Amino acid sequence: MEENKKTCLHGHHTSQGALMSPFGGFDMPIQYRGIVEEHNAVRSACGVFDVSHMGEVLVTGDDATRFVNYIFSNDVTAAQPGQCLYGMMLNDHGGVVDDLLVYKFSENKYLLVINASNIDKDEEWIQERMNDSNPDREDGMPFRIDLELVSEVVSELAVQGPEAEKVVEEVLGIPCADLTFYTFKETHLDGHDILISRTGYTGEDGFEIYAEDEVIVDFWEKLMASGQCEPCGLGCRDTLRFEVGLPLYGDELDDDITPVEAGLTMFVKLEKAPFMGRDAVAKQKAEGAKRKVVGLELADKAIPRHGYEVLNEADEVIGHVTTGYHSISLDKSIAMALIDARYAAMGTPLKVRIRRKTFPCAVTGKKFYKKSYKK
């Protein structure tokens, strides 16, 4: 068996007593003090996550804008340099190859931040797309771009929570109050390049910081020494993103789930120049999806987990749970589920099978907890 990869902070995680577990090919911290404590720290103050497992791909060259716009569902031509965009890479059937953040440096330079579990698949897929004839050029020539896979040399921290701005400025010495939501800047500290964006995956204000290993290790140590920032594992990253209805690739998204089904069409710009997956999504959007990702709320405390069956009132299986928890912030059992679209109307009474029993639930929105971004 192939051994899991380690981030530059692996030794810090193990020596600080984190519970480690494999995730996306990496040996990652799942929790430090406890998922509940870490979750609450991010909602009420500040927490830091090692997210160095994320993959990074640099796209540069004369056709960089055209190429990224061709493989990515959102419209990078509408973005200014210094802006981040969320969107997806789609296959021919409209299924999601991956969901990602795109950082636009200029018309000739973009950084794609992809999921750890998809790094190999994405890199292969992106490379194949380079050989597609450029649909945006009359001569049909391939794209003039360079791809650089920089995952191995880029590490990443996410500092998240209402006090994140203060902590990043005071503890790390990086001015960031000027950054608005979904923008980034490059800065230099002691001769090192640092990329910082006002982005995250928790529903709270916060920042994601990219740099080489030694800088990230130094930042982690400063944050730990400050006592102002809770070390957090991927366990609470999942509970936090789930409560605000953010999808996780592998749960709410995969190669066979489309943005229409996942409720993410606002990140698919059908009106822009032709792009991968466009026609399939346009067709499905016009015809209506047969499945939908919905929220479910249970009256009981039993917890619906990924893969559990969702039933209609006649006890027919109509879908499955994609993510479910006893919500830490809301103290109730809630889930996201991919179900037959005929049952997706708000308030529809359904059931979830949890081991030997079924429990009544009702369809709700997916945003269980209100995001508090600083715009």
Partner 1 sequence: MIRYSETHEYVRQEGEYGFIGVSDYAQKQLGNVVYVDMPEVGDEFEAGEEFGAIESVKAASDLISPVSGEVVEINEALEENPRLVNQDAIANWIVKIRLSDPSQLDGLMDEDAYRAFCEK
Catalog residues that contact partner 1 under the rule CB under 8 A: 30-31, 34-36, 235, 239, 301-303, 305, 325-326, 328, 333, 354-355
Residue 130 vs 354, nearer CB to partner 1: 354
Rounded distance between C-alpha atoms, residue 76 and residue 69, angstroms: 6
Residue 211 vs 234, nearer CB to partner 1: 234
Residue 110 vs 308, nearer CB to partner 1: 308
Per the CB < 8 A criterion, the answer to whether 32 and 232 are in contact is yes
Q: In angstroms, what is the C-alpha Rg of the chain? A: 21
Residue 160 vs 284, nearer CB to partner 1: 160
Q: Is 15 helix (H, G, I), strand (E, B) or coil?
A: helix
Per the CB < 8 A criterion, the answer to whether 339 and 351 are in contact is no
Residue 90 vs 354, nearer CB to partner 1: 354
Distances (CA, A) of 216 to 172, 189, 196: 10, 12, 12
Strands of the chain, DSSP E = 19-23, 26-31, 47-50, 55-60, 83-90, 96-106, 109-114, 146-149, 155-160, 184-189, 192-197, 206-211, 230-232, 291-298, 309-311, 317-326, 333-340, 349-354, 357-364
**Closest distance between partner 1 and the C-beta of residue 220, in Å?**
23
Residue 129 vs 306, nearer CB to partner 1: 306
Residue 28 vs 154, nearer CB to partner 1: 28
Per the CB < 8 A criterion, the answer to whether 334 and 301 are in contact is no
Q: Do the bridges between strand 55-60 and strand 291-298 make them parallel or antiparallel, or are there none, so unpaired? A: unpaired
Rounded distance between C-alpha atoms, residue 176 and residue 185, angstroms: 9
* Identity of the amino acid at 308: Y
